[in-house]
Amino acid sequence: MPKFRRRKKSMVIVNLMLLLVFLMGLWLIGLSRYVDDIPAAVEDKTTRTDAIVVLTGGSGRLSKGLDLLSKNLADLMFVSGVYRGLDVRHLLQVVHHNPTRLEKRIDIGNAINTRENAEETARWVAEKKISSLRLVTAAYHMPRSQLEFNNLMPNIRIIANPVFPKHVKHSEWWSWPGTATLMATEFNKFLMAWVRHRTENMFMSDTKRD
């Protein structure tokens, strides 16, 4: 192989490596900013909303939602992500609440991911004529949840009510392998959701111009 070809191939490899290092640096900066944006506390604990929406899938979310409903911070509650066949009475018994007092105020869904959480909640909100809701999910899951909810319900007031699972270490999260993996995974899912929304919005804008 002539020298200039070997040199050209080496330069291509070096440039690709530099590009990968640059992209990895951007990803790490983005991950750090994402973690910084995760709420460290419930900023608004008292404002009453039309409804409480609980995204199931993590410890403490349902109990927190039922506690908020018991305190009458909303008239209704929607539990998004519960599989078909699980009724409200059983749901309440699982978390040791009095079924007769709360079950008529609760509806349940069957979403299997965050995007479907937002979609079925948007349908429920439209049906019930809801104008404000308190969103209950894990703190690390809140940025992506808000992204999905705000995209589908831009005119609905959403108050974040994060819960804080004990197994997630927010302090020095990078030194805990389980938490570091969780944060990286959530950030990647957030990025994919953000790109999807941007792409959909661009196509919608192009369609309107046409």
Q: Is the pLDDT of residue 63 over 90?
A: no
Taking Cα atoms as reference points, which of 31, 193, 56 lies closest to residue 135?
56
pLDDT at position 126: 97
Q: Is the pLDDT of residue 2 over 90?
A: no
202 CB-near residues (< 8 Å, 6+ apart): none
Q: What is the mean pLDDT of residues 165-179?
A: 85
Structural domain that includes position 63: 51-163
CA dist., res. 108 & res. 81, Å (int): 8
Q: Is the pLDDT of residue 195 over 80?
A: yes
Residue 116: exposure state from Cβ atoms within 10 A (0-12, 13-18, ≥19): middle
Asked if residue 151 is part of any domain, the answer here is: yes
- DSSP H or E segment with residue 207: helix 177-209
H or E element at residue 41: none
Query: What CATH number does residue 84 fall under?
Result: 3.40.50.620
In a domain, 182, yes or no: no
Task: Kindly state whether residue 39 falls inside one of the protein's structural domains.
Answer: no
Q: Does the residue 158 lie in any domain?
A: yes
Domain for residue 72, yes or no?
A: yes
37 occurs within a structural domain? no
Instruction: Please check whether residue 111 lies inside any domain of the structure.
Output: yes
Structural domain count of the chain? 1
Q: Is the pLDDT of residue 3 over 80?
A: no
The pLDDT of residue 135 is 98
Q: What is the pLDDT of residues 11-40, one digit of tens each?
A: 777 778 888 887 888 888 989 899 988 999
Mean pLDDT across the chain: 85
What pTM was estimated for this model as a whole?
Answer: 0.82
What is the C-alpha to C-alpha distance for residues 122 and 102, in angstroms, rounded to an integer?
A: 22
Residue 180 included in any domain: no
Alpha helices in 38-167 (DSSP H): 61-70, 88-94, 99-102, 114-128, 142-152
- Tens of pLDDT, residues 74-85: 999 999 987 555
Radius of gyration of the chain (CA): 22
Contact of 165 with 137, CB cutoff 8 Å? no
What is the helix (H) or strand (E) element at residue 191, kind and residue range? helix 177-209
